[in-house]
Amino acid sequence: MSVIYLMFIAGAVASLLLYKFQKAAAYIGFGIPAAASLYGIWFFFTNLTGTSELVVQFPVMAAKFTLDPLGAFFSLVISLVGFAASIYGIHYAEEYRESVSIGAMGFFFNLFMAFMLMVVSASHVFWFMVFWELMTLASFFLIHFNDSEKTSKATILYMVIAHVGGAAILAGMLLMSSAAGSFYFQDFKGAGVGPVLATVLFLLFFFGFGSKAGVFPIHVWLPEAHPAAPSHVSALMSAVMIKTAIYGIIRTCMWLPLNEWWGIMIIVFGALSALLGVLYALTQHDTKALLAYHSVENIGIILLGCGVGFYGMATGNAILAAAGFIGGLYHVINHATFKGLLFLGAGSVIFRTHTKDMEILGGLGRKMPLTAFAFLIGAMAISALPPLNGFVSEWFTYQSLIQAALGSGVAGTIIFTMAIVALALTGVLAVMCFVKVYSVIFTGTPRDEKIWEHAKESPVLMVAGMFVLVAACVALGLGAPYAASKIIGVTTSITGSGFDAAAGISVKAVSGSVVSPVLITIIFVSMIFVPIIFTMVFKDSTSTMRTTKPWACGAKYSSRMQITASPFTGFLRQTMNWLYRSEVHFEETNGYFGKVKYSSHAKDIWWDIIYVPIIKGFSGLSQMLSVIQNGRMQIYASYVLIMLAVFIILAIFG
């Protein structure tokens, strides 16, 4: 554990020393974290069932790190995506060679990786909060490497919500420390917290960590900040940074006496996040903003599983608890792999085309075949299509929700059934969304000749980074029984040893209901080859292959005749305009007979409903308080004297 942390710190220092040597900084600054992450994959995987401790003596106080199965699992997820993003970043950093210091980028990248790992292993309130804030700060600087006015606004929004959430987490930690009489996490469980205080703590922790996870309705920063970052950083933020918040929710709930309605509440917020996340993703034209909204969706799916797990623990249903946590944790690693892959794939397209607007792309599958294939695997995985990994974890989640619906009262059955419906709708809409994304970007004919002429496959290390995650998506799908058996130990660390046998029963029951991934693969491959074999058998040997442009009803064919991202979801936007409130713009360029530019952009209505009133309220309060700042030293001195008098009175009579 200490070796891994030191390797990332060494990578940060080396990157800073190579501040003026761009190429060397790229290879060293991202090569060292690649090696550290690769070692981390092996180390954390082999420590999934044990517990290890590390104490580092600092001048102020010692920092204690404890790696239990839950922390090792999340560290494994961070290392896996970090390895792919680091390899990818070596060549992707060329995009910034002329504008920023790659050494500085490598410095913050290494620190970002180190702080995420330290967050999930810190076992003291002070150091947890220090590393939590440092993780946020490192990501803030990484986002700013895409320097623009939009980026500045995105980072301000991100930091405000992150620090409000951090304040809630700190308040909960201090209350928990007061109740336990200790600042060490090991003393928090069984601290004798009363039901009222336990509820207050749960709400502080859920919404505090939820602000980082992007849980609805605290999600508005995510589709702004993630697209603004460099693509390999977006992959880390969306695939693993927000998972540290899931870790925080699970870890803190383990300390508290659970209540049934907490699990129900998590499920409700999970269902809303999943459904609304995919609905907003469907209307996006910016590829990375679309993927960011899908992070909101998948965080919702993870919460569905974890909510069932906590509900099962609160009701004493061991099998239900195990099934829920297995689904939730399996989707944690699955979402990390396919979302990291999709962000790297989108970054590959941006690297060669210099645009995130999918409306002007097209036909890139012929120029970037490896990127197209990798993106297709990611799109299939996030759409939960077998035999890839997204299908398996969503199937576990379905099974846990069905078990919960069958074993609950009337109210519980209704809620769990609605969650099942929300998950089903989410899956359908996700397929629709990625059919749109893939077809618009990679198929058809070019919409912009200049982009088409300059497009080509990405450098080899960028492709290698993507294919690391392609392999992970396939392995976690085909190796589902083995992966699920490894997650049992992590689940047991959450539920307690008394749930161990139930976890095994649950995995066998749910895994047994999943059709063999190998059989599914054989069927899919067979379906692919059937039309090829059919064509070869019945092909006329005298005929020759002819390639022509599509028939356009007698008119000259133009790429403008192809469907773009906007009309693909046009009917949905019209039907649900109450949710989107689309802004439509027309622009005539040359009178009545000239070209007309039409654009439609959906707005996130929750920004206007929730955040604008809060901003206006604080703005008005600030104006009221500004009266006391009149610039006169005599008035400021009187403020100091008044406060001193108040403190003296409190000291005398307090």
Determine, yes or no, domain membership for 196.
yes
Q: Which of 539, 563, 562 is nearest to 550 (CA)?
A: 562
Determine, yes or no, domain membership for 19.
no
Structure confidence at residue 532 (pLDDT): 67
Q: How far is CA 86 from the centre of its chain?
A: 17
Determine, yes or no, domain membership for 331.
yes
Top pLDDT among 63 and 539 is at: 63
Domain boundary among 463, 495, 522: 522
* Cα separation, 643 vs 537, whole angstroms: 93
Cβ(291)–Cβ(264) under 8 Å?
no
Instruction: Tell me, yes or no, whether 381 and 488 share the same domain.
Output: yes
Tokens of 58: 């600092």
Q: 10 Å Cβ neighbour count for 606?
A: 17
Domain boundary among 522, 548, 567: 522
Determine, yes or no, domain membership for 572.
no
- Predicted TM-score of the model (pTM): 0.87
pLDDT at position 84 over 80: yes
* Cα separation, 275 vs 273, whole angstroms: 6
Structure confidence at residue 75 (pLDDT): 94
Q: CA quadruple 110, 116, 120, 125: dihedral positive or negative? A: positive
Convert the pLDDT of each residue in 372-409 to its tens digit. Answer: 999 999 999 999 888 888 899 999 999 889 888 887 77
pLDDT at position 44 over 90: yes
Residues 374-409 as b or e (16 or more Cβ within 10 Å = b): bbbbbbbbbbbbbbbbbbbbbbbbbbbbbbbbeebe
Cβ(423)–Cβ(401) under 8 Å?
yes
Top pLDDT among 623 and 132 is at: 132
Structure confidence at residue 149 (pLDDT): 65
Please report which confidence band the pLDDT of residue 502 belongs to, taking 50, 70 and 90 as the band edges: very low
Please report which confidence band the pLDDT of residue 97 belongs to, taking 50, 70 and 90 as the band edges: confident
Structure confidence at residue 501 (pLDDT): 44
Q: Which of 262, 245, 254 is nearest to 199 (CA)?
A: 262
pLDDT at position 359 over 90: no
Q: Does 446 sit behind a cis peptide bond, omega within 30 degrees of 0 on the bond before it?
A: no
Query: Across residues 156-181, what is the average pLDDT?
Result: 89
Instruction: Tell me, yes or no, whether 297 and 429 share the same domain.
Output: yes
Structure confidence at residue 273 (pLDDT): 92
DSSP code of residue 184 = B
Which structural domain, as residue segments, surrounds residue 614?
607-653
* Cα separation, 230 vs 233, whole angstroms: 5
Tokens of 207: 């919404």
Please report which confidence band the pLDDT of residue 567 belongs to, taking 50, 70 and 90 as the band edges: low
Distances (CA, A) of 414 to 340, 345, 402, 425: 35, 40, 11, 16
Query: Across residues 233-248, what is the average pLDDT?
Result: 92
Torsion from C-alpha of 205, 209, 211, 216, nearest 10 degrees? -80
Structure confidence at residue 93 (pLDDT): 86
pLDDT at position 191 over 70: yes
Cβ(325)–Cβ(306) under 8 Å?
yes
Instruction: Tell me, yes or no, whether 207 and 306 share the same domain.
Output: yes
Convert the pLDDT of each residue in 65-79 to its tens digit. Answer: 889 899 999 999 999
Structure confidence at residue 516 (pLDDT): 57
- For 544, the 3-state DSSP assignment is coil
> Which are the contacts of 609, defined by CB distance < 8 A and separation ≥ 6?
none
Count of structural domains, the chain: 2
Determine, yes or no, domain membership for 589.
no
**% of the chain surpassing 70 pLDDT:** 83
DSSP code of residue 229 = S
Determine, yes or no, domain membership for 502.
yes
DSSP string, 293-305: HHHHHHHHHHHHH
- Provide Rg for the chain, Cα atoms: 26
Please report which confidence band the pLDDT of residue 598 belongs to, taking 50, 70 and 90 as the band edges: low
Structure confidence at residue 56 (pLDDT): 79
Structure confidence at residue 28 (pLDDT): 92
Amino acid at 365: G
Instruction: Tell me, yes or no, whether 274 and 163 share the same domain.
Output: yes
**% of the chain surpassing 90 pLDDT:** 35
Convert the pLDDT of each residue in 308-350 to its tens digit. Answer: 999 988 888 888 888 899 999 999 999 999 999 999 999 999 9
Cβ(359)–Cβ(285) under 8 Å?
yes
Structure confidence at residue 585 (pLDDT): 62
pLDDT at position 528 over 70: no
* Cα separation, 654 vs 652, whole angstroms: 6
Q: CA quadruple 320, 421, 343, 214: dihedral positive or negative? A: negative
Please report which confidence band the pLDDT of residue 443 belongs to, taking 50, 70 and 90 as the band edges: confident
Determine, yes or no, domain membership for 464.
yes
Determine, yes or no, domain membership for 126.
no
Q: How far is CA 140 from the centre of its chain?
A: 16
pLDDT at position 366 over 50: yes
Q: Which of 129, 158, 138, 337 is nearest to 248 (CA)?
A: 129
DSSP string, 240-253: IIHHHHHHHHHHHH
- Which residues partner with 587 through β-bridges? 597
Domain boundary among 472, 505, 522: 522
Instruction: Tell me, yes or no, whether 512 and 412 share the same domain.
Output: yes
pLDDT at position 55 over 90: no
Q: 10 Å Cβ neighbour count for 489?
A: 17
Structure confidence at residue 522 (pLDDT): 64
Instruction: Tell me, yes or no, whether 518 and 624 share the same domain.
Output: no
pLDDT at position 228 over 90: no
